[in-house]
Amino acid sequence: MRTAALIVAAGRGTRLGADTPKQYLDLLGKPVLRRTIEAFLLHDEIDLVQSVIGAEHDDLYFDATQGLDLPAPVTGGDTRQQSVARGLAALKDQGIDRVLIHDGARALVDATLITRVCHALDDHPAVLPAVPVVDSLRRVTGDRVEGLVDRSGLVRAQTPQGFHFMTILSAHEQATGPDLSDDVAVAAAAGVPVVTVPGSDDNFKITVMDDLRRAEDILTRNTGGPMETRTGSGFDVHRLVPGRPLMLCGLPIEHSHGLAGHSDADVALHALTDAILGAIAEGDIGDHFPPTDDRWRGVSSDIFLRYAVGLVRLRSGHVTSVDLTIICEAPKIRPHRDAMRQRVADILETSTNRVSIKATTTEQLGFTGRAEGIAAQAIATVALPAEPVTLDVR
Ligand code: MG
87-146: per-residue pLDDT in tens? 999 999 999 999 999 999 999 998 899 999 999 999 999 999 999 888 888 889 888 888
Q: List, in sequence order, every residue forming a beta bridge with 252; answer none if it has no partner.
A: 247
Ligand 1 center from residue 323 Cα (angstroms): 17
Rounded to a whole number, what is the distance in angstroms from the first to the last CA of the chain?
Answer: 26
- Whether omega for the bond prior to residue 21 falls within 30 degrees of 0, making it cis, is no
**pTM score > 0.85 for this model?**
no
Ligand 1 center from residue 267 Cα (angstroms): 5
Ligand 1 center from residue 97 Cα (angstroms): 34
207: Cβ contacts below 8 Å, ≥ 6 apart: 13, 15, 16, 22, 105
Query: Got the DSSP string for 166-208?
Result: HHHHHHHHH--SSPPSSHHHHHHHTT---EEEE--TT-----S
340-368: per-residue pLDDT in tens? 999 999 999 888 999 999 999 999 999 99
Identify the CATH number of the domain defined by range 227-385: 3.30.1330.50
CATH 3.90.550.10 domain residues, the chain:
3-222
Among 287, 277, 351, CA closest to 317 = 277
Ligand 1 center from residue 307 Cα (angstroms): 15
Ligand 1 center from residue 313 Cα (angstroms): 23
Ranges of H-type helices in 111-175: 111-120, 165-174
Task: Return the pLDDT at 83.
Answer: 95
CATH 3.30.1330.50 domain residues, the chain:
227-385
Task: Return the pLDDT at 220.
Answer: 74
Ligand 1 center from residue 64 Cα (angstroms): 29
Q: What count of other Cβ atoms lies within 10 Å of the Cβ of residue 42?
A: 18
What average pLDDT does this structure show over 244-271? Answer: 96
Ligand 1 center from residue 280 Cα (angstroms): 19
CATH architecture under which domain 3-222 falls: Alpha-Beta Complex (3.90)
Ligand 1 center from residue 333 Cα (angstroms): 19
Q: What count of other Cβ atoms lies within 10 Å of the Cβ of residue 79?
A: 14
